[in-house]
Amino acid sequence: MSKIGTINQTKDTIRSSDFKVKKKFGQNFLIDQNILVNIVKIPSISKETLVIEIGPGLGGLTEHLIEKSAHVLAYEIDPDLVKILKNTFSEKDLTLINMDFLKCNIDEDIMKITRTFDKVILVANLPYYITTPIILKIIEESNIIKEITVMTQLEVAKRITSSPSTKDYNSLSVAIQYKTNAIIAMKVPRNAFIPAPNVDSAIVKLDVIDNIELKPKSESHFYNLVRASFVQRRKTLLNNIHAKYGLEKDKIVEYLQTLGLDPQIRAENLSVSDFIALSDFLLNLQIK
């Protein structure tokens, strides 16, 4: 391997290509080869696996993914980086798409690759400024991706894996834990990047649940309710539901009590199953 992600080669590539790091795209390049090697050990990749990568940057992680997988489908928003990547991996099993991942149709792009794979997984060092919408897009829109391994800010990783009634538990925790089993696989210090971010990071592994035992009648309604319930975290669930749906508060109290929930409870105290029950209850009342 050429070890694209080493600090010397990263600096050389940036210098030789006259590349300027763009803060607007959240560009931080991982330069620790030991961490790169350990990252690709976390997901279950074989030579029959299609790997999706978001924000490959200069290709440090991409190089390892290509080595272990059947093919890599990578989304890169920066056209300057696409030129570098095409030059670096011109003869490799790599499909590059130059666009904003949030605007793509993931499953359609996967289906355009005319090969069969044993499974499709996603591995990425995510741009931190859009980590949450990217993860939610994957779990809400893709029926093909079954495993997700991503680097996020440590703070976000704690939210993703947190339990009810803890300070880190929020709408992201609920949405992700409804669809996946989530763990923090490893922590990554900020000095492993160039330029170094202001925070430490972590690798989170999300295994998509094949057969969800308890599902809401409407997933879109469920997600909307979860988001609305945490809009004002310090407010009670009663107040957040009132603000979202415009219902009379005494009616909301009645609904919550019917579900066995304390009217003064906060969203952070509800489990995934509690949110599903509340979503279905409101939906039955034809409250959109």
pLDDT in tens, 42-69: 999 999 999 999 999 889 999 999 999 9
Where along the chain do the CATH 1.10.8.100 domains lie?
219-284
Residue 194, pLDDT score: 81
Q: How confident is the model at residue 1 (pLDDT cuts 50, 70, 90)?
A: very low
Q: How confident is the model at residue 18 (pLDDT cuts 50, 70, 90)?
A: low
Q: Residue 88: pLDDT above 90?
A: no
Residues 6+ apart with CB under 8 A from 252: 238, 241, 242, 263
Query: CA-to-CA distance for 242 and 225, rounded, in angstroms?
Result: 11
Residue 31, pLDDT score: 82
User: Residues 203-219: pLDDT tens digits?
Assistant: 999 999 988 999 999 99
Query: CA-to-CA distance for 288 and 283, rounded, in angstroms?
Result: 7
Query: CA-to-CA distance for 214 and 226, rounded, in angstroms?
Result: 16
What CATH number labels 7-208? Answer: 3.40.50.150
Q: Residue 154: pLDDT above 70?
A: yes
Q: Which of 205, 204, 186 is nearest to 32 (CA)?
A: 186
Where along the chain do the CATH 3.40.50.150 domains lie?
7-208
Enter the pTM of the model: 0.85
Concatenated DSSP letters for 232-283?
Answer: TTTS-HHHHHHHHH---HHHHHHHHHHTT--TT--GGG--HHHHHHHHHHHH
Where b means 16+ CB within 10 Å and e means fewer, 151-175 reads bbbbebbbbbbbebeeebbbbbbbb
Q: Which of 180, 187, 35 is nearest to 122 (CA)?
A: 180
Average pLDDT on 180-188 reads 96
Q: Residue 2: pLDDT above 60?
A: no
Q: Which of 253, 257, 259 is nearest to 278 (CA)?
A: 259
Residue 134, pLDDT score: 93
Cite the DSSP H helix spans in 23-59: 33-39
Residue 6, pLDDT score: 55
Residue 115, pLDDT score: 86
* Secondary-structure class of domain 219-284 per CATH: mainly alpha
Tokens matching residue 222:
């469920």
Q: Residue 29: pLDDT above 50?
A: yes
Identify the residue whose tokens are 């319930």.
229
62 contacts 46 by C-beta, under 8 angstroms: no
Q: How confident is the model at residue 10 (pLDDT cuts 50, 70, 90)?
A: low
User: Residues 216-250: pLDDT tens digits?
Assistant: 999 999 999 999 999 888 899 999 999 998 888 99
Average pLDDT on 86-113 reads 92
Residue 123 DSSP SS3: strand
What angle in degrees, to the nearest 10, is found between the helix axes of 171-179 and 272-284?
A: 90
Beta bridge partner(s), residue 124 = 150
Average pLDDT on 127-131 reads 85
If one counts every other C-beta atom within 10 angstroms of the C-beta of residue 87, the result is 11
